[in-house]
Amino acid sequence: MNYYKLLNVITSIGFSLISSGAETYRVEESIERMLSAYDLAEVDVFVIPNCIIITIRLQDNTSITKTKRVKARTINLDKIDLLNDLVRSICIKKPDIATIEKSIENIHQIEKKSPIKQIIGHGLVAFGFTLMFGGTYEDALCAILIGPLIYFVMYGAAKFQVNSIFKTMVASSVTAIIALLFLRIGLGDNLDKIIIGAFMNLVPGVLMTNGIRDIIVGDFVSGQVRLTEAVLIATAMAVGAGIVLSVYMAI
Amino acid sequence: MEILLPCVYSFIACVGYCFVANVRLRKKMLFFASLGGAIGWGVYLSFGYMENGIVQSFLAIMIVTIYAEILSRIFKAPATVYLVVGIIPLVPGGGIYYTMEQAIRGNTIEFLNTGLRTFGIAGAIALGILFASSGVRMIVNIRNLSKSIKSPNKSVSKKT
């Protein structure tokens, strides 16, 4: 067994987990359990949302450490589930490295996000929440057009590696501008309902959930990182739309 | 009807969010995750007579968290999948907007009022997840412990 290769493969599983939005303790526990299955003297794992550090000690007392920096994180819940199943099967079956590599490759192949689904999803979120918060059907119609626009802004910004706070601010400004435009040409009745519906695409729900779940199990550093980001994103949403609305009111 | 229709809307929105977060049909995840969102909003509205968004959110998120933990054990899938989708209707997106609106209108008192209420709802969601998840964890640990006492040869250590 080549332990250097094993460490690389296991790290890449951890990397995929954390970059598709898994909680910190899940990543730590998965890596630790997978490595423990392979007859090592000692395994130590430290994970925070933007870094993974793993050290293993072999039976002959030599140690290997690997650090992996995580720069970008997205949300891909199905990938987490598939990787979770892979982790379970590795712990039980202890397959060789080539087999693990093949199944990771397989998961990456299946889990490519399709843009059409994303566009429909953003539209539906805006549509549903506008109605849910008491908007009229006309409002919902406006919102369903704004939703995909948010996707394009976020996707375009991700291409240029803009940070998430500025990205959210721009997307929220665009939302407000388009909503005002719709109202001007007579489509839609309630400005607030349209904007709130579209806002739900930007809301930091995953960050909040995972931040709290990190804190529950005692990963306070990770929890703090995520909750801080959540608060900043919520502020960015308010500021983005606020700038547009205050300019509009001044005119 | 007043509760049912918003729940249907919530379900539609959560299906949309499932597309965004790439939840698939495997293990019936798409349906059950979205159903969590509908249940959460249903609970929120059925306690509407309280007229207290913070308590309503707290109760709703408790139910959603318990629902997510139960489903994660039935389908052997991470609880986050169900929780992330179920929480979305309860996240105070409206609060963020109205706080901002009061701020740019210059109504300081109203701004502080709405802002604090929004913050309170966020805190209630956090506490709700914390209470329910810790409770479920405790029950599972107690059950595992009693199992291992009954049959000490088999090591029972399974977490999801």
Is any Cβ of chain B less than 8 angstroms from the Cβ of A184? no
Both A69 and A97 in one domain: the answer is: yes
Which residues, numbered 103 to 162 in chain A, qualify as contacts with chain B under a Cβ-Cβ cut-off of 8 Å? 111, 113, 117-118, 120-129, 131-133, 147
- Determine the 3-state secondary structure of B154 from DSSP: coil
**Between A22, A118, A132, which is nearest B13 by CB?**
A132
For A30-84, the pLDDT digits (tens) are 999 999 888 888 999 999 988 999 999 998 989 999 999 998 888 888 899 899 9
Give the H or E element holding residue A67.
Answer: strand A63-69
Both A104 and A57 in one domain: the answer is: yes
Reported as a pLDDT band with limits 50, 70 and 90, residue B158 is very low
Both A123 and A225 in one domain: the answer is: yes
Reported as a pLDDT band with limits 50, 70 and 90, residue B148 is confident
Cβ contacts of residue A149 below 8 Å, gap of 6+? A174, A175, A178
Chain B residues in contact with A84 (beta carbon < 8 A): 77-78
| Residue A145 token pair | 């057009």
CB contact under 8 A, B16 and A79: no
Both A27 and A144 in one domain: the answer is: no
For A249, other C-beta atoms within 10 Å of its C-beta total 9
Q: Point out the least confidently predicted range of A34-48, A51-65, B103-117, B140-154.
A: B140-154
Full residue range of the structural domain in which residue A236 is found: 115-250
Rounded to two decimals, what is the model's pTM?
0.88
Give the H or E element holding residue A2.
Answer: none
For A124-166, the pLDDT digits (tens) are 999 999 999 988 999 999 999 999 999 999 888 888 888 889 9
For B131, other C-beta atoms within 10 Å of its C-beta total 16
Per domain, the residue ranges of chain B are 4-150
ipTM of the complex: 0.88
Both A57 and A119 in one domain: the answer is: no
Is any Cβ of chain B less than 8 angstroms from the Cβ of A80? yes
CB contact under 8 A, A195 and B83: no
Q: How many domains, chain A?
A: 2
Both A61 and A148 in one domain: the answer is: no
Query: Is residue B154 scored above 70 in pLDDT?
Result: no
Q: Which of these three, A110, A133, A161, is where a domain ends?
A: A110
| For chain A, the helix, strand and coil percentages under 3-state DSSP, each to the nearest 5 | 70, 10, 20
At residue B159, the pLDDT reads: 47
Chain A residues in contact with B133 (beta carbon < 8 A): 213, 216
Cα atoms in the Cβ-side hemisphere of radius 13 Å centred on A71: 4
At residue B56, the pLDDT reads: 93
Q: Which residue of B has its CA nearest to A195?
A: B97
Both A152 and A41 in one domain: the answer is: no
Both A135 and A238 in one domain: the answer is: yes
Q: Which of these three, A58, A83, A110, is where a domain ends?
A: A110
| Residue A173 token pair | 């400004």
Residue A215's nearest CA partner among A227, A229, A204 is A227
Chain A residues in contact with B18 (beta carbon < 8 A): 121
For A101-114, the pLDDT digits (tens) are 999 999 888 877 78
- What average pLDDT does range B127-151 have in this prediction? 87
For B66, other C-beta atoms within 10 Å of its C-beta total 16
At residue B152, the pLDDT reads: 64
Both A45 and A95 in one domain: the answer is: yes
Both A90 and A127 in one domain: the answer is: no
Q: Which of these three, A110, A142, A159, is where a domain ends?
A: A110
**Between A80, A132, A205, which is nearest B9 by CB?**
A132
For A8-23, the pLDDT digits (tens) are 999 999 999 999 888 8
Cβ contacts of residue B148 below 8 Å, gap of 6+? B154, B155, B156
Q: Which residue of A has its CA nearest to B78?
A: A81
